[in-house]
Structure 1
């Protein structure tokens, strides 16, 4: 579950993508429906852009977008087998579109809210709303300097065609939770300044924000997982823990980037709330996340789902321990990431969870 930020300029996220276009010179590569690319004219005119029916992403196109828009998800999603790999990938990309619109630094608060409302109409399949026309409108004044995000916006028709091509029940889940997220983002922006800057005022407002941008992601993933009938008996427990899993990952992300965010004018940690209280809440949430993973394991979840959910938990716990010790900005090294992945794979080979997860989850209910 990768977590996301909302309501402010993209900032640190821009480092994740390769520079594939020169926005300043209006030489933006726009992906036409069906995966082809069409250049935007240098005068910014988009009236002659292709309008043919969009086809779903090929597997390589989907993987390419994940690589260019999220280093973390590009690492985690290949751990999943099909059909979850494609479904989760599409879910992430839909949320990335919403996130890009909300984080549009060149746009005013009201322009961002209008763009989110238009995207909401697309997801609701409102008659007369054209995905191609909307994506061209968004790109007429690019909302981001991140070339991967802009290319994804240009491919909105292809993204929606891909959504229509997956399992119907999975498509309904994605639409439902992405819609809830988009609506929540609009509510967040309603409390921002005209320029779109937001400062949260309390620990509860921080938790509410985390639910919108991360807790709902946990719920989305859980509903996809419990389509597997083996997990049905554990579904209520998983559903109760899923928002806390997402909140924990988001809080760790906020704590990690707090110093850089403050430099760039973003204040997510509310005034008057002690840093230790946020760290404690994140730690409690990661305990819930460990219990979520253990519930999946006890339910007989397939290996790919266990790997996909356990890896971000291990990295978040390692990051939180560093943050408590060293403060904001601390990050786990690539060597630690590699070691954690190897440890995870070795444990799954034995039909077990890593000892660190079992220890974090604590004693089984009713156990000694």
Structure 2
């Protein structure tokens, strides 16, 4: 594939597989946009294998471990052949959706990756491989047992799951930023210290707001030890009769998630103020996540029982505008984030 064809392949897939990511990534400077686009699509390949209803749990684990080995080998310089990729998408119908089409056409994606600078390519392969390994570990949780809802065992496992799904992305992006801009030691150390928490914050918000949809698939990515604290079980999360314990349960989860979002704002302040596009790329999802937590706190029972809570298109536009206004300044960004956080019902 030519460089032009590479970029066209990547650019065409992004809006098809994620509107939210497409919204944020357009703010990245050109020197980062293509590598981050490509990295995101590689992570999406792993995510598609994990989420696909057309792949059985045991087969998901096999495919994800195969992807992990491919990526680790690629990070060490090995070339990827078409035969190497066939086990990832064998038996998958590309007509099942854009995600599945991306999986089937993953050879094109590896061709794109092969054209990236060595340092960036190795960063992407390493962290995407780590993600695939972790998703393989948790793939069995999607298998329903005796028609009961399956959940994460405890908070430590919740953290571990969110690390593999999103903390790895935080590490990947941080290393890509450092590779591109060669930040000073203070900035680089601060970002590396907080990047895991940044990813956990965004993913934990997702695991809370996505409960109604996940319940329909027989799984909840929330910790059972916190449920037990409020005399709840995974199966009771959809029962409106348990309004008081559901409210307390959700409020505890949102408080924990909010601390990670606090870290995400601090992380953003380590990006030099001259890099307005990078700061905007980071600020938009954090503000959207904080606003979503506010909505979850306002409607905790609905968040569990359904229909799923979701911030409006008007709020997305408003928060994006606020990010554009405030993200260039550390003081302004912190002030606006604190104001937004204070709006959350207690």
TM-score, normalising length: structure 2: 0.80
Q: Residue 244 of structure 2 corresponds to which residue in structure 1?
A: none
The equivalent residue for 2:324 is: 345
Does 2:309 match 1:357? no
1:92 deviates by 0.6
Contact 2:94 2:104 in 1 (8 A): no
1:101 aligned partner: 49
- Determine helix, strand or coil for the equivalent of 2:220: coil
Partner of 1:306: 279
Quote the offset at 1:90 in angstroms: 0.8
- What is the aligned-residue RMSD (CA, Å)? 2.9
- Please, which of 175, 193, 198 is the counterpart of residue 240 of structure 1? 193
Q: Report the CA distance between 1:150 and its aligned residue.
A: 2.1
Corresponding residue for 1:288? 263
Contact 1:63 1:74 in 2 (8 A): no
Provide closer, same or farther for how the CA distance between residues 112 and 57 of structure 1 changes in structure 2, counting only shifts above 3 A: farther
Aligned residue for 2:170?
A: 218
- Aligned to 2:212, which of 235, 240, 259? 259
Q: Is the contact between residue 207 and residue 221 of structure 2 (CA under 8 Å) also seen in structure 1?
A: yes
Q: Does 1:172 align with 2:122?
A: yes
Q: How many residues align?
A: 307
- Aligned residue among 102, 109, 119 for 1:159: 109
> 1:101, 1:112 within 8 Å by CA — same for their partners in 2?
yes
Q: Which runs of 5+ in 2 are unaligned?
A: 227-248
* Distance of aligned partners of 1:325 and 1:127 in 2 relative to their CA distance in 1, 3 Å threshold: closer
Match of 1:38 in 2: none
- Residue aligned with 2:214, SS: helix
Alpha-carbon deviation of 1:272? 4.2
Q: How many angstroms apart in 1 are the aligned matches of 2:90 and 2:288? A: 39
Q: 1:146 to 1:310 in 2, by over 3 A?
A: farther
- From 8, 12, 15, the counterpart of 1:67: 15
More helix by proportion, 1 or 2?
A: 2
Structure-2 separation of matches of 1:204 and 1:358: 28
- Asked whether 1:86 is paired with 2:34, we answer yes
Provide the rounded CA distance (Å) in 1 between the counterparts of 2:32 and 2:219.
Answer: 34
**Offset of residue 171 of structure 1:** 0.8
- Indicate the larger mover: 205-214 or 108-117: 108-117
Q: Give 1:62 shift.
A: 1.1
Runs of 4+ more than 6 Å apart: 126-129, 349-352
